[in-house]
Amino acid sequence: MGLRIRGVVLPERAERSFRIDGDVLREDPAPGGELLVDGGWLLPGLVDVHTHPGTEGPESVFADATFRRHLTEHRDAGVLLVRTPGTAAPVPDWVERDDELPRVRSAGRWLATPGRFFPGVGRDIGEDELVAAAVEEAAADGWCKVIGDWRWDEPAVPLELLTATVRAVHAAGGRVAVHCQTAEGSRNAVLAGADSLEHGMHLDPGLLDRMAAQGTALVPTLGVFAAGAAERRAGAPGPRRDDWLAGWAALPGTVRAAHEAGVTVLAGTDSFPCGTVAAESSWLLRAGLPPEAALGAASWAARAWLGLPGLVDGAPADVVAYDRDPVAHPEVLGCPERIVLKGRVVR
């Protein structure tokens, strides 16, 4: 009969029994088979929708061994699906075939027009090349990532160009993530119809209703900003420092307002070590998201947004199990008792 799991499924809060059939789940209430999980709380595998495995900073070189190590760190924390919105090199072909590593959704290489992003780290292109390059990157795995702005006092990618890019990628069946940390960059990403705003610092709350209506998600990466706030405050006073601190001060409130407006808010870490999306979920909770929404942002809501179902018959066999309800006890989220990836028992 194989392995079976039984417990209370979130977010439905219904007790269910599944049989692991290869790399999929089969709803099977009949007795028989070894019970791998008998009771407790069951979640679809955790998700980090903004992580950059393979390098550890703009000066490091992408390496397969580093990529594998980072994905393993994710897996061992129960993060069984990642989206990497920008890499320094194409995601290796072997990743998809490796049943011991999380599922990966890639946005290809960062697309950086002149003066935006670290030189030589992404795919450096002219503004006249952006539309074609975005379509090309999205063709590989459905997503592309545009660096929509960079320095606080320099212009963002022009709205007309970003709009043309989004339209071309959508016409080709792809989706567009936009890095934005300035007011202009965030505004342009929303008005262009981007599928996700990565960071969204200085986002005008007046644009939230439009984001909700057109399905633009917000990935605020609160934890990485929080980690850098003390260093920024200790830095020399000046317009750049003050602008950054003002953006950070407003961001948690914007995140809360985004959720209340119906925007899909998701958990992404953009930091190292990998496997820390539970901490990002905690930051969303601190920003004012309801506990279930903060948890879903790192699990079922993120999986649905990336096109995968939750714990239902025929779903991928990616499961994390807990002895305590992680909605009521969010501190347990990063330490699942059981981890099943692609039908294989990790822990």
- For residue 314, which amino acid is it? G
Mean pLDDT within 218-238 = 93
Inter-helix orientation angle 222-234/239-261, to 10°: 160
Q: Is 206 exposed, middle or buried (0-12, 13-18, 19+ CB in 10 A)?
A: exposed
HSE (side-chain half, CA atoms, 13 Å) at 73: 19
User: Are 97 and 81 members of one domain?
Assistant: yes
pLDDT at residue 32 is higher than 90 = no
Mean pLDDT within 89-111 = 93
The percentage of residues in the chain with a pLDDT greater than 70, rounded to a whole number, is: 99
The percentage of residues in the chain with a pLDDT greater than 90, rounded to a whole number, is: 86
User: Where are the alpha helices (H) located in the chain, listed in sequence order?
Assistant: 64-76, 94-97, 130-141, 159-171, 183-191, 208-214, 222-234, 239-261, 277-287, 291-296, 300-305
User: Are 235 and 216 members of one domain?
Assistant: yes
Backbone angles phi and psi of 176, in degrees to 5: -125, 125
Tokens standing for residue 109:
């290489």
pTM of this structure: 0.96
pLDDT at residue 29 is higher than 70 = no
Q: What is the dihedral of CA 251, 256, 261, 263, to 10 degrees?
A: 70
Which CATH number goes with the domain that contains 14?
A: 2.30.40.10
Mean pLDDT within 51-60 = 87
User: Are 147 and 289 members of one domain?
Assistant: yes
DSSP secondary structure string for all residues of 174-241? -EEEEEE-SHHHHHHHHHTT-SEEEE-TT--GGGHHHHHHHT-EEE--HHHHHHHHHHHHHSPPSHHH
pLDDT at residue 310 is higher than 70 = yes
User: Are 214 and 272 members of one domain?
Assistant: yes
Backbone angles phi and psi of 271, in degrees to 5: -155, 175
The whole-number pLDDT of residue 256 equals: 98
User: Are 336 and 229 members of one domain?
Assistant: no
- Compute how many other C-beta atoms are within 10 angstroms of the C-beta atom of residue 153: 8
The whole-number pLDDT of residue 45 equals: 98
The whole-number pLDDT of residue 61 equals: 86
pLDDT at residue 230 is higher than 90 = no
User: Are 222 and 289 members of one domain?
Assistant: yes
User: Are 187 and 263 members of one domain?
Assistant: yes
User: Are 154 and 218 members of one domain?
Assistant: yes
Which residues form the domain of 115?
47-305
User: Are 297 and 177 members of one domain?
Assistant: yes
The whole-number pLDDT of residue 192 equals: 98
Angle 260-264-265 (CA atoms, 0-180°, nearest 5)? 85
Average confidence score pLDDT of the chain: 95
User: Are 300 and 325 members of one domain?
Assistant: no
The whole-number pLDDT of residue 37 equals: 93
If one counts the domains in the chain, the total is 2
* Residue 330: pLDDT band with limits 50, 70, 90: very high
Span 159-195, pLDDT tens digits: 999 999 999 999 999 999 999 999 999 999 999 999 9
User: Are 21 and 75 members of one domain?
Assistant: no
Mean pLDDT within 229-252 = 92
| DSSP assignment letter at 147 | E
Which CATH number goes with the domain that contains 120?
A: 3.20.20.140
User: Are 101 and 160 members of one domain?
Assistant: yes
Identify whether the C-beta of residue 142 lies closer than 8 Å to the C-beta of residue 129. no
Residue with tokens 């030189």: 119
The whole-number pLDDT of residue 76 equals: 98
* Residue 26: pLDDT band with limits 50, 70, 90: very high
Q: How far apart are CA 243 and CA 238, in angstroms?
A: 9
- Cα 229 versus chain centre, distance: 22
